[in-house]
Amino acid sequence: MTTALGPSTAHAPAGGRLHGRTAVVTGAARGLGRSCAVRFAAEGADLVLVDVAEDLPGVPYPLGSGSQLDHTAELCRAHGAAVVTATADVRDPAAVDRVARLALDRFGTVDVLLNNAGIAAPSGKAVHEIAEDEWDLMVGIDLTGAWRMTKALVPAMIEQRSGSVVNVASTAGLVGYRHFAGYVAAKHGLIGLTKAAALDYAPFRVRVNALCPGSVRDDPLHEGRMLAEIARSLDVDVDEHEEIFVQSQPMNALIEPQDIAGAALWLAGDDSRQVTGTTLTVDGGFSAR
C-alpha cells in the first residue's frame, strides 16, 4: 500500500453537517465514491480516500486509477478538507489495517466509514456457470471487504462512543437479478451484515446502515462506469443502455450520483442519530413493485 499525504490546508468553515469529523471512503477514485467524498468535504469533513487504484485480474473492465484518486482528493481539498489518500485492496487484511492506522495517526479519530468499494462483474452467467474464482472475487470485494474495513475501524468508534458506518449495497441486495448471482448474493449479505453489526454496536452509539442505490447514471464528472458494465454483462447495447434502464424506473429517470451522496450524508450525520440497522433505498421506486 502506498499513501499520499495532502498539503496542509485549513478546515472547512464551521456549520457543515460533518464539520470537525473524519470520514474514510473506500472506492473513492471515481463514481459514487467520488460523489460522496466531495459532498462530505463540502459539509466540513476531513477525509481518508481509499481505492485499489489498479486493475485486478478477473475484473473484466478498468478499475479506478491512482490519478483518478488524486483528482478526487483535489476536489475535496477545494472545499478546505484535509485529505489523505491510500491505495489498498480491501481483500488484503494487512492493507486494510494499514489504512486504519494511517487514518488514526493522521486525524486521531474516525467518525464515518463509507464502505463503497465494489465491482459489478464478473457477471452475466447462470449460477452453475460461475467459476470458483469468480465467486470468490465478487464476494471478497463486495461483502468481505466491507466486513474487513468495519473490523479495522469500528473499535476506534467504540472507544469514542460514536460513529456511523454506511454500507453501499444495491437494489440487488433487495431483489434478484438474472445472471447476477454473485453480485446479488454479496449485496444481500451486505444488508445482513449491516443489521447484525447495528445490533452489536448500538450499545456504543455506533450506527450501521445500508444504502441501496438503484440504476445510477454514469456521470462523466465522477467518471463512473458501473451502469455501463452492468449493461455489458446483460448484453445490452451500451449506446442505448440509459434509455433501456429508464424504462424500468417508475419515476422515469435514472438516479444521479448526487442523490446517493445526499442520502449518504444524511446517514453519516446527526440528523439520523437514531437510525441504525436500516436500509435506505434510493431507486426511484424500482423496488416498490
One DSSP character per residue, 57-86 reads TT-SS----HHHHHHHHHHHHTTT--EEEE
pLDDT for the residue numbered 248? 75
pLDDT for the residue numbered 226? 64
When pLDDT is averaged across residues 190-210 and rounded to a whole number, the result is 98
61, 177, 183, 201: which is the annotated catalytic residue?
A: 183
For the chain, helix, strand, coil in percent to 5 are 45, 15, 35
- CA terminus-to-terminus distance, the chain: 44
Q: Considering only 76-80, 121-125, 158-162, 228-232, which range has the smallest mean pLDDT?
A: 228-232
- pTM of the complete model: 0.90
pLDDT confidence band for 246 (50 / 70 / 90): confident
DSSP state of 221: G
pLDDT for 9 beyond 50: no
- 85, 128, 193, 262, 283 from 37: Cα distances, Å: 12, 38, 23, 11, 20
- The closest alpha carbon to 152, from 94, 204, 66, belongs to 94
pLDDT confidence band for 215 (50 / 70 / 90): confident
- Spatial contact of 166 and 265, defined as CB atoms under 8 Å apart: no
Cis peptide bond upstream of 62, omega within 30:
no
Q: Within 13 A of 20's CA, how many CA atoms are on the CB side? A: 3
Q: Judge whether 201 counts as a catalytic residue.
A: no
Higher-scoring residue by pLDDT: 245, 79: 79
Q: Is the dihedral of CA 219, 50, 142, 152 positive or negative?
A: negative
pLDDT confidence band for 153 (50 / 70 / 90): very high
pLDDT for the residue numbered 81? 98
